Amino acid sequence: MSEEIREDRRNFLALAATTLAGGELAFAGRASAQSSGDLRTATTRDPSAHASAFGAIKQIDAGVLNVGYVEAGPANGPAVVLLHGWPYDIHSFVDVAPRLASAGYRVLVPHLRGYGTTRFLSSDVMRNGQPSAVALDIVAFMDALGIGKATLAGFDWGARTANIVAALWPERCTAMVSVSGYLIDNQEAGKVPLPPDAEFQWWYQYYFATERGRAGYEKNRKAFARLIWQLASPRWSFDDATFERSAASLANPDHVPITIHNYRWRLALAAGEPRYDEFERRLAVAPVISVPTITMEGDANGAPHANPATYSSKFSGRYSHRTITGGIGHNLPQEAPEAFAQAVVEVSAS
């Protein structure tokens, strides 16, 4: 790593430390973060001061896909891949990416399969939502860009994808930031009944298990996404422009079949592809993740999520957890971009 990049990272951490000590960045509001028992001040998204959009979308053939992505920062900087969830898109990181780029990182934000401008290279490829398939997309994406190793950071489907890459291919993962912790699951676990209140939180998963649900999501995907945003982040006052910017990515022709297959596969109601069987067998034992990791959670996350105490043992490397307070919901990178960016910087420097 060049001395210039090291200096940028030191400056970034110094700025964060100043903010945490009681200052307030001009482009953000305030929340608090708790890590290893230490209360610190972080920053949360100010709806009136966020970036309006990314720059031009790039495209690259990677594995079975032509991936749409944005890139920021120096080409020779340490790589960071930011991974979004469902039903969001790359704009979950619109305020994170410039922070990391200014700190000297090469930041890459791909649309997952079924989102934005990402397309399958062949009409014959199954529109598969298996978690291992999505993870292999990211490995192929890194290969296509000549990136041997990167820090992976994400939430929801993106966090699960990062978990899988870190578990199966730790040599490709410098470090990881995972919102909502350890998210590797398997079909057998999906067959086990949960208490009624927990089952209630997964209402959309059961809706998608029906043909009525598939047709309903196809017909009302934007209204459905808005409802999920509201339920998952009940205290996030996002405006119409913010929602519409991301909702446009759901118009991808593969979005609905991939979403439906993902949730049906997780309940063992849909088959996967044999090419992923070995990966799924390795994931079924809930492998321990050895790469340096910071897990994060918002204090107002309305989506299903586990207590951090239940998954801390799944990380054997350098590890810490942070709960971000101040009404932060499920889409933590967009609701608390400074806290998320700070976690990426700190874990990648460990």
With tokens 């990211």, the residue in question is: 138
Q: Which of 347, 11, 30, 9 is nearest to 179 (CA)?
A: 347
What is the per-residue pLDDT across 69-95, written as a single tens digit (0 to 9) for each? Answer: 999 999 999 999 999 999 999 999 999
Average per-residue pLDDT for the chain = 88
| Mean pLDDT of all residues in 325-345 | 98
Task: Say which amino acid occupies 112.
Answer: L
With tokens 């298990």, the residue in question is: 209
**Per residue in 239-250, is it b (16+ CB within 10 Å) or e — as a string?**
eeebbebbbebb
Which phi-psi region, left, alpha or beta, contains residue 138 (left: φ > 0; alpha: ψ -120 to 50)? alpha
Q: Kindly state which CATH superfamily the domain 3-348 is placed in.
A: Alpha/Beta hydrolase fold, catalytic domain (3.40.50.1820)
The rounded distance, in Å, linking the Cα atoms of 242 and 271 is: 36
| Mean pLDDT of all residues in 26-51 | 34
What is the per-residue pLDDT across 138-181, written as a single tens digit (0 to 9) for each? Answer: 999 999 999 999 999 999 999 999 999 999 999 999 999 999 99
What is the per-residue pLDDT across 197-241, written as a single tens digit (0 to 9) for each? Answer: 999 999 999 999 999 999 999 999 999 999 999 999 999 999 999
268: pLDDT strictly greater than 60? yes
Q: pTM for the complete prediction?
A: 0.86
| Per-residue model confidence (pLDDT) at position 16 | 40
Question: What are the boundaries of each domain within the chain?
Answer: 3-348
With tokens 């998320």, the residue in question is: 340
CA dihedral sign of residues 187, 133, 98, 6 = positive
Q: Which residues pair with 69 in a beta bridge?
A: 58, 110
**Most confident region among 30-39, 125-134, 186-195 by mean pLDDT:** 125-134
DSSP code string of 58-126: EEEEETTEEEEEEEES-TTSPEEEEE--TT--GGGGTTTHHHHHHTT-EEEEEPPTTSTT-EES-TTS-
> Among 3-17, 47-61, 112-126, which is the least confidently predicted range?
3-17
| Per-residue model confidence (pLDDT) at position 39 | 25
**Are the beta carbons of 118 and 112 closer than 8 angstroms?**
yes
289: pLDDT strictly greater than 90? yes
The bridge status of strand 150-154 relative to strand 319-325 is: unpaired
The band of 52, judged by pLDDT with boundaries at 50, 70 and 90, is low
Dihedral over alpha carbons 10, 17, 314, 155 (to 10 degrees): -90
